[in-house]
Structure 1
């Protein structure tokens, strides 16, 4: 069933008060006005339905290149922007790709948007809580994490991808695993800790009835600002030590994997109507996220014509760094290999304002559903990938998220 819009009374107030990429000027005075929800299996084109909803609320989704920093007034409300979330499944639908296993967090919509207003009026807030039981709201505990596959099963999936590369079916595939842990108490402080991890460019929390997600993502899925569209793919990871930095910079395997995804992102932008020449502004720059070095590039193009949100999402989603190349063939392999759906991970979350769009890729992202926490981690597989090393890399990416949720001090 399609849930096109809903009143603010049906929204859970965001635990942190700050959705991913929300402008600092809005965070102290924005109020949720109305919401859009679309679930896997609902009818219609999610990209077009989302665009229609946002356009009806005065946001410039039909021409993202138009610079306009003025808020729009609808009735007695001043619309300042919207928080957006698009799942990996929704991205696959937009791309016309094969869908894999269903999400382990089905309560979370696959497309979600909340329109915010600047208003001095008081708003009723839902008293809904994500506490797992009535008597534990003041305490917090997490049970043991249960992975969706064993280390051996994860390593076997890596071997299957290498075999597919050897046959020429794909060049690279991103393989992702899921883990869940039961919890007791109010997860809001734990989710805020995740969003505050060092290097979280898109740190924030987004919530709805019965669910919340927190992201510590460092990666830009797509940004439109000042007449340019930009994506910043991340590929290549090592421990944030001097030795790790030297190893990352010297790794031919990591650089080849990275360049392959940069080329994929260049192609994604090049086939977007209304864009000019695509360029690589920065290649293989090393950034830090918590205790890891990661390699990032910057790919951009000018907006020479009208570029709408629906076309942009169809061109970019799902992100190339979490799918592989060729993208549709990689998504087909992912659907075969991963036993649990990607849920809130490997999608996009961010903000649409009157003068910009900024969506982060939902890596390093966790969801709470009232009973369990859910987290995902993985990595890109190439012909030269070592299965055990890939399993260990996924564990290294997951560790800071688990530590933040458990309130464990990182070394």
Structure 2
């Protein structure tokens, strides 16, 4: 049984860093950090957690989403983990045949021995009384200060492009041919940047990524020798009580140190016919997905094409909500809407088939999701974008960027937007564009 008590760290930021460093000693760990942001939403949350972390698995479930629900139902406890983009193949007649050098499982959720919760006011620790008591948990917390903080010197990073500039432009031309033919009307096309034979310290890279690009859905995952360091600004799906909410992002413009240029960039995004069209298309897709599990007439758009500013970019975000049917479970809501429309395009199945045809890398956890499920079956899941993936055994590091392609897209501008989205990660590794 999980029990809770309050703790009082002297420095919240430092304590978060120590928890992340502690994952060095764990086989599994998940950290979710909102970095002080309160994301746009209509849910009257009973409690908003700015930071959630789970360390040390005492039981887990992988590669079978149905088993995850049975696992959760058995323990009625917090579980943390991730969903790979490629579980789409379990829901539809789809395949993923591209190479995967990260090698994370398609699904993984675990029950943490130590659970840390912070709501911007109070720190709470959840422990399992079959393993610990307050004294032993406090001893574990006291030992956090001894976690190894040294970082491997990775030197100059040689970044490779899986897709050349020329190949990217050619792919966009082919995708637009499909759009003109009516196969899809929007498609999210992504490309990979990667580095071979690189040794990094993921915990330290994650801390720098948060400093360069603090976002409301940042995440860190350790799964044995495989890692995610994420700076996502996007929520995929949240459930609280019977209410479900999705907040797709479509539309990006750069920030600028000059306040007049910055405002002009923000105004351009707000009034861009192309960007609004992209966002509205995905809103329609999300509305359709949620309607499969929603009470009739409950799906609504709470905010259409809102503009929100982050350290690196301005983003166009819409909010769609619904009431979950009484006979639908939390897992049904995920099955009805995964993968998220903002990372596929529409119609969704046709878009995913074309993604497989024109992309050259298996997405894996990229454009998947990381998050948690509470004992009551509430959950919050992000969209894995603006994120670094790393396989320590292979010494292989990868990140992907992409954007929505429509008939009105300018291929060169789409390429430039991809570089903008990658800029925070490039800054972390001191890479020039």
TM category (shorter chain) comes to 0.7 to 0.9
2:314 is paired with a residue whose SS is strand
Measured after TM superposition, the shift of residue 225 of structure 1 is 1.1
Which position in structure 1 is the counterpart of 2:319? 298
* 2-structure distance, mates of 1:108, 1:30: 18
Which position in structure 1 is the counterpart of 2:161? 147
Which position in structure 1 is the counterpart of 2:43? none
Q: If the length of structure 1 is used for normalisation, what is the TM-score?
A: 0.80
Match runs of 1:119-134 below 5 Å? 119=127, 120=132
Q: 1:275 to 1:357 in 2, by over 3 A?
A: farther
Structure 1 range deviating more: 81-90 or 273-282: 273-282
1:242 aligns with 2:263: yes
Match among 89, 106, 115 for residue 93 of structure 1: 89
Which position in structure 1 is the counterpart of 2:419? 395
1:330 aligns with 2:334: no
Measured after TM superposition, the shift of residue 101 of structure 1 is 3.5
Which position in structure 1 is the counterpart of 2:6? none
Which position in structure 1 is the counterpart of 2:410? 386
Which position in structure 2 is the counterpart of 1:349? 370
Which position in structure 2 is the counterpart of 1:62? none
Deviation sequence 1:35-85 (CA, Å, 0-9, x none):
2222xxxxxxx3312212222222xxxxxxxxxxxxxxxxxxxx4x11120
Q: 1:157 to 1:409 in 2, by over 3 A?
A: closer
1:261 aligns with 2:279: no
* Maintained 8 Å contact 1:98/1:335: no
* 2-structure distance, mates of 1:302, 1:365: 31
Match among 100, 103, 106 for residue 107 of structure 1: 103
Match among 359, 372, 389 for residue 367 of structure 1: 389
* 2-structure distance, mates of 1:275, 1:193: 45
* Maintained 8 Å contact 2:295/2:322: no
* 1-structure distance, mates of 2:282, 2:375: 30
2:232 is paired with a residue whose SS is coil
* Maintained 8 Å contact 2:252/2:314: yes
CA RMSD of aligned residues (A): 2.8
1:34 aligns with 2:59: yes
Measured after TM superposition, the shift of residue 260 of structure 1 is 0.5
1:359 is paired with a residue whose SS is strand
Match among 193, 201, 217 for residue 208 of structure 2: 193
Which position in structure 2 is the counterpart of 1:339? 360
* 2-structure distance, mates of 1:150, 1:332: 22
* Maintained 8 Å contact 1:10/1:209: no
Measured after TM superposition, the shift of residue 190 of structure 1 is 0.5
* 2-structure distance, mates of 1:275, 1:220: 24
* Maintained 8 Å contact 1:103/1:341: yes
* 2-structure distance, mates of 1:25, 1:201: 10
- Higher RCO structure, 1 or 2 (CA under 8 Å, sep 6+): 1
Q: 1:310 to 1:26 in 2, by over 3 A?
A: closer
Which position in structure 1 is the counterpart of 2:81? 84
Match runs of 1:183-222 below 5 Å? 183-222=198-237
Which position in structure 2 is the counterpart of 1:3? none
Measured after TM superposition, the shift of residue 268 of structure 1 is 0.4
Which position in structure 1 is the counterpart of 2:31? 18
Match among 47, 50, 67 for residue 68 of structure 2: 50
* 1-structure distance, mates of 2:51, 2:282: 34
* 1-structure distance, mates of 2:386, 2:93: 24
Deviation sequence 1:107-144 (CA, Å, 0-9, x none):
21111112124324569x9xxxxxxxxxx954233521
* Maintained 8 Å contact 2:290/2:299: yes
2:199 is paired with a residue whose SS is strand
Measured after TM superposition, the shift of residue 368 of structure 1 is 1.1
Question: Unpaired runs of 5+ in structure 2?
Answer: 1-22, 35-47, 114-125, 141-149, 256-261
Which position in structure 1 is the counterpart of 2:9? none
Q: If the length of structure 2 is used for normalisation, what is the TM-score?
A: 0.76
* 2-structure distance, mates of 1:26, 1:344: 20
2:188 is paired with a residue whose SS is strand
Q: 1:146 to 1:138 in 2, by over 3 A?
A: closer
* Maintained 8 Å contact 1:162/1:383: yes
Structure 1 range deviating more: 263-272 or 106-115: 106-115
* 2-structure distance, mates of 1:205, 1:373: 15
* Maintained 8 Å contact 1:231/1:299: yes
* Maintained 8 Å contact 2:102/2:389: no
